[in-house]
Amino acid sequence: MQVFDRITKKNWGIFKKILYSFLFFSILPLIVFALITAFLFNGSNEKILNDTRLLIDKNIEKNLMIQAKQISRKAEHFLRNREFDLLELSKLELSESTLLNFSQSKTSQIWIKANDPNDSLGIWKFIPLYKEIEFADNLGNQIVKIINGKPIPNWQKRNISNPINTTYFSENYFELSKKLNQGEIYTSHLTGFFVSQEELRIDPTIQYNGIIRFVTPVYKNGERVGILSLGLDHQHLMEFTQHVLPNSTEEILYPNYNSGDYAFLFDDEGWIITHPKIWDIRGLDGTGKLFPAFNANSTEDDIRRGFIPFNLDSSAFIHPNYPIVYKNVINKLSGKVTTKNVGGTQKIMVYAPIFYDKGVYSKNGVFGGTTLGIETKKFLSSSFEIKYLISNTFEQYFNNILYVIFGSIFFSLIVSFFFSRNFTKPIIKLTKFSSNLADGKLNERIHFNRKDEIGSLARSFNRMANELEKGRNQLLNSNAELASSRTNMENYALDLEYQLNVLKSIQSISNTIGFTYHLDTVLKKILNTSVKNLHFNSAVLYLVDEENKIIECKEICSYEQEEILVAKKLKHSLGKTNSIETEVIKYGKIVFIQNYEQFKKEEHKTLLTTFFENSSSFVFIPLIVQEKIIGILGADKINNTENISENDINSLQILANQASRAIENSKLYSEIISQRNFVNDIISNMMNGVISTNGNGIITSINKAARQILELPELDDLLGQNLWVLLSQKDDFRKDIFNSLNNTGIYRAYEIELKLRNKKKFLNITVSRVYRNNIHYSSILIVEDVTEKKIMDEEFKKIDRLASLGRFAAGIAHEIRNPLTGLSLFLDNLHDHISIIDPANSNLISNALNEIERLDNLVNEILDYSFPSKSKMQNANINAIINGILLLLNQQILKSNIIVDKCFEDSIPNFSFDTEKIKQALLNIILNSIQFMPTGGSLIIETKFLQDENTKNSVLIKIADTGKGFEENEIENIFDPFYSGRQEGTGLGLAITHSIISDHKGTIIANNSKNHGAEFKITIPIEREL
């Protein structure tokens, strides 16, 4: 070694030393090759392993999905076959023997446990497809019913129109089948009594007994004769999933629930209908009511006893993917999720919809879904085993390559070491020195006692270090001054930006107040501003009720929607709750919590805002309006590393002050709107009409009653029109209103007669003016329709008058009748004597007797009108009565050259009425018509049967003639006693007719007909209380 050093120092220069140094770099390609090889092997190894594992996972997932879809298609095909069975059976003669043969011929094989509990192979057994077959008539009476392949006796048959008489006490398939047309099918949900885990502990052999009903109407010769129902046995549905082993073609007798490797079906409502645990299957209690689903509020006793049927849509508390599976299947989607079962086993689950659209399943077009689950560890085990094998192979191959590379490197190092040692020492020192210079160690110097190029280079490095050290000192001084100035400017800019955000927040809330008073919008704006502009992570706002007793969460920002909905439902009593939030409201002080964990140990106060518990810091600020605390505003920082600063709290307090005014204004606005709507509702629903105008009489509002009373069309836009145009029919009336308003400011009138749209009405009208600052600002008109009251008053007066007239006439008739009888006897005797002595003058006495008889008939008519006899009701046909009258008057009709036109409705039923009185009433009207057509004419008689759902059925009798008709003033008095249009008439015929029709609770109306004659319309109710 000494010889080598001596030769080197004496003879060799820097050029030869550099030349020999290249020997060292001969190992560089080997090193590069080793690194590249290692990199490529590692990258390829990892990629191949990951790709292989993913491919295997995808294949397993694909196989599971194929398996699930196959089960869904089989289930759909199975359901369609049941429809075919139902329709084919409905075409046959539905006798007991037919249904029994059908039940025995339709069987299917199931795989069940043997009686031996140690037998794991089980047995195959044929059982009927249909647990129930039923044929009922149109009234719901069971004609034939087969249960478990056997007909039931007659005494067990029920009327299934009442759901309590159905198998499960609550089935309404009979009522729903009424909506089905021929060939249509109704399919029900799975129906059966619930089986709990507690019942299984007592009797392990118990099974779930349920059915799915398929119902169709039965027609015979085109007429519906009843319904046919097939109750599919639930055991056959269990066969679709009970023996399935996910990701395997093998079948098992019963799956192991705890392994997570099993399949199940659920329906379109999310209820499980096949499952290894039968207490997870939907079911009814003993009264036919559906058991509630297992949910977060289920009691421990219900869970222990196994009263927990499973519904995917309400099982998010077990795993959030269960509702997602249900919603995707309802939307006809298939897929894969990761979830866990009730026992806590993590599993991969695939799902596929079962397409079906009959009955209750027509809403979504799916029967439900099929799911296959496999434990996560088992799902990934195959891919990890293959990954392990491939990884070992790569590792052995890579190790062999490394051995060769490292052997070559080691040999190169040994050879190069002896040639490079002397040369590398100064190079290493220079490299280290230059590195120190680059790191800023400018106070170091290098010394070589050499006169070659390296020594010269060392001296140059020393000079450069001196200059660099000098320049660095100058730069450091300048840089320190610049850094200090920059820091000050940045802090000032940040402070300005923060203050600007606060001002923007206040302006934003002010703008919100200007555009909306909706409380929810204002609250959302306040919290969004707190989070966005003041850089808080989340915010919450509580409001106190009007009685200052309850604090309620009104709005939350930056949290999940579910958490917001839960929080908004919570209400807390200020007097009973000892919390941070209630303390802020009670004392009106800001509460700032920098470390909640430490605070919780020191202070025994709860935190109502539970989602602040994980925050690094949070603050609550009271919302105060006019020294009254209306709520609190809270904000936190959970994601930021910085805590809430004093500047943050001050800014939030400024925002809270503005927010308090915004909330109070919104509440006041809401109260004003509520009061306005209340007043509008009162005015809109008033019986009286209300119209408001401005000072010029222009209508500003009008309610529905005013439109109806004044006969104004609903579609006309009256706003903006002049009120006095509506009341312009009588100038004197309008002048009276103006005079009264100008003198007293108010006008009142009662029972004013107006003609509106050809209708005569009597109105009470009140008009008043409203003044502001002695200026006529508006007017209010209130109108009340008293037309009916006026008509009733007139009718009562008329009734009193007629009653008085009847009593007077009856008294006169009694007084006249007695002397009239004596006079008739005397004249009759006188006529007998004179006819012998003086036959020529006996005619005078005969005429006198005729007049006395006529006067006696008048007295009888007066007495009949005043004291009508008691009605004798009997069932008769009105058409037959009218035909009898026409037959009686046939000669008189022919003599008067009158043509009778009859139009009788044959469907009028017989009903109860006084045949003699009705005959008298109709006879009076027909005689009047004949007497008013002395030169001939037409007599039209029509009967109709009137049917109305809202009123009682009645008979309409219409009698019209082509005589002279009525004068204008005659119609009002035509039924008054002693009023007649003929000089020879007594005026009592139509009065008696009116009385008879009224006694039968009917109505009679007289009018002029289209043929310019008289027309009478008589309506008699068929069902009435006399």
The residue type at 307: F
Distance of CA 610 to the CA centre of its chain: 31
Residue 829, SS3 per DSSP:
helix
**Among 497-501, 888-892, 950-954, which is the least confidently predicted range?**
497-501
- Binned at pLDDT 50, 70 and 90, residue 715 comes out as low
Find, among 457, 396, 391, 394, the residue nearest to 426 by Cα.
Answer: 457
The answer to whether 133 and 213 have CB atoms below 8 angstroms apart is no
Helix (H) or strand (E) holding 134: strand 130-137
Higher pLDDT among residues 996 and 638, named by residue: 996
Res 776: pLDDT: 79
Res 8: pLDDT: 46
Higher pLDDT among residues 721 and 911, named by residue: 911
Residues 458-487 have pLDDT tens digits of 777 777 777 777 777 777 777 777 777 677
| C-alpha distances in Å from residue 67, one per residue of 71, 325, 528 | 6, 17, 49
The answer to whether 645 and 495 have CB atoms below 8 angstroms apart is no
pLDDT at 318 over 80: yes
Find, among 629, 620, 676, the residue nearest to 649 by Cα.
Answer: 620
Look up residue 895 and give its DSSP letter.
H
Which CATH code for domain 871-1021?
Answer: 3.30.565.10
Pairing type for strands 617-625 and 775-785 reads unpaired
**Among 177-191, 296-310, 515-529, which is the least confidently predicted range?**
515-529
The pLDDT > 70 percentage for the chain reads 71
pLDDT at 525 over 50: yes
Q: Do domains 60-382 and 515-657 have the same CATH topology?
A: yes
**Among 86-95, 319-328, 381-390, 847-856, which is the least confidently predicted range?**
381-390
Handedness of CA 584, 587, 592, 596 (dihedral sign): negative
Residues 793-849 have pLDDT tens digits of 766 666 666 566 666 666 665 556 556 666 666 566 666 667 666 666 666 666 666
Res 857: pLDDT: 64
Architecture of domain 515-657: 2-Layer Sandwich (3.30)
Largest CA distance in the chain: 209
- Binned at pLDDT 50, 70 and 90, residue 728 comes out as low
Res 865: pLDDT: 57
Q: Which residues contact 209 (CB under 8 A, 6 or more apart)?
A: 131, 192, 193, 234
Res 843: pLDDT: 67
**Among 18-27, 225-234, 363-372, 552-561, which is the least confidently predicted range?**
18-27
What is the rounded distance in angstroms from the CA atom of residue 993 to the CA atom of residue 914? Answer: 13
- Binned at pLDDT 50, 70 and 90, residue 147 comes out as very high
**Among 23-27, 82-86, 617-621, 897-901, which is the least confidently predicted range?**
23-27
**What is the pLDDT averaged over residues 509-532?**
68
What is the rounded distance in angstroms from the CA atom of residue 403 to the CA atom of residue 400? Answer: 5
Pairing type for strands 873-876 and 911-914 reads antiparallel
pLDDT at 529 over 70: yes
892, two tokens: 């008189």
Find, among 570, 595, 592, the residue nearest to 583 by Cα.
Answer: 592
The answer to whether 782 and 688 have CB atoms below 8 angstroms apart is yes
What is the rounded distance in angstroms from the CA atom of residue 436 to the CA atom of residue 444? Answer: 8
HSE, side-chain direction, 13 A CA sphere, residue 71? 34
pLDDT at 506 over 80: no
Q: What is the mean pLDDT of the chain?
A: 78
**Among 52-61, 257-266, 303-312, 596-605, which is the least confidently predicted range?**
52-61
Within 10 Å of residue 975's Cβ, how many Cβ atoms?
Answer: 21
Residues 431-467 have pLDDT tens digits of 776 777 676 666 667 766 766 666 777 777 777 777 7
Higher pLDDT among residues 306 and 81, named by residue: 81
Higher pLDDT among residues 180 and 984, named by residue: 180
Residues 634-667 have pLDDT tens digits of 888 776 566 787 778 887 888 788 778 878 777 7
Res 639: pLDDT: 60
Helix (H) or strand (E) holding 1015: strand 1014-1021
| C-alpha distances in Å from residue 288, one per residue of 166, 172, 294, 782, 817 | 10, 11, 18, 59, 81
Find, among 609, 594, 617, the residue nearest to 535 by Cα.
Answer: 617
DSSP 253-272: SS--GGGT-EEEEEETTSBE
In this structure, which topology does domain 60-382 adopt according to CATH?
Beta-Lactamase (3.30.450)
The pLDDT > 90 percentage for the chain reads 22
HSE, side-chain direction, 13 A CA sphere, residue 370? 26
Res 517: pLDDT: 60
Res 786: pLDDT: 80
**What is the pLDDT averaged over residues 246-255?**
79
What is the rounded distance in angstroms from the CA atom of residue 581 to the CA atom of residue 596? Answer: 14
pLDDT at 982 over 60: no
Res 856: pLDDT: 65
Q: Which residues contact 716 (CB under 8 A, 6 or more apart)?
A: none
b/e per residue, 474-505, with b = 16+ CB within 10 A? eeeeeeeeeeeeeeeeeeeeeeeebeebbeeb
**Among 1-10, 26-35, 353-362, 565-574, which is the least confidently predicted range?**
1-10
Q: Which homologous superfamily is 686-867 in?
A: PAS domain (3.30.450.20)
Residue where the block lists tokens 């145009």:
725
Gyration radius (Cα) of the chain, Å: 54
The answer to whether 373 and 261 have CB atoms below 8 angstroms apart is yes
What is the rounded distance in angstroms from the CA atom of residue 35 to the CA atom of residue 782? Answer: 102
**What is the pLDDT averaged over residues 610-627?**
82
The answer to whether 635 and 534 have CB atoms below 8 angstroms apart is yes
What is the rounded distance in angstroms from the CA atom of residue 458 to the CA atom of residue 445? Answer: 9
Residues 165-197 have pLDDT tens digits of 999 999 999 999 999 999 999 999 999 999 998
- Binned at pLDDT 50, 70 and 90, residue 745 comes out as confident
The residue type at 961: D
Distance of CA 645 to the CA centre of its chain: 47
The answer to whether 965 and 959 have CB atoms below 8 angstroms apart is no
735, two tokens: 């002048």
What is the rounded distance in angstroms from the CA atom of residue 353 to the CA atom of residue 341? Answer: 20
Domain residue ranges of the chain, discontinuous segments joined by +: 60-382, 515-657, 686-867, 871-1021
pLDDT at 132 over 90: yes
Pairing type for strands 123-128 and 107-112 reads antiparallel
Res 996: pLDDT: 82
What is the rounded distance in angstroms from the CA atom of residue 846 to the CA atom of residue 939? Answer: 36
Residues 662-713 have pLDDT tens digits of 787 777 777 777 777 777 777 777 778 888 888 777 888 888 777 777 777 7
Residues 92-129 have pLDDT tens digits of 999 999 999 999 999 999 988 877 667 667 888 899 99
Higher pLDDT among residues 29 and 297, named by residue: 297
What pTM, to 2 d.p., does this model score?
0.40
Find, among 981, 979, 976, 977, the residue nearest to 1014 by Cα.
Answer: 981
The answer to whether 523 and 554 have CB atoms below 8 angstroms apart is yes
Give the CA angle between residues 923, 926, 930 to the nearest 5°. 130
What is the rounded distance in angstroms from the CA atom of residue 103 to the CA atom of residue 807? Answer: 84
pLDDT at 15 over 50: no
Residue where the block lists tokens 């006897």:
825
Res 131: pLDDT: 95
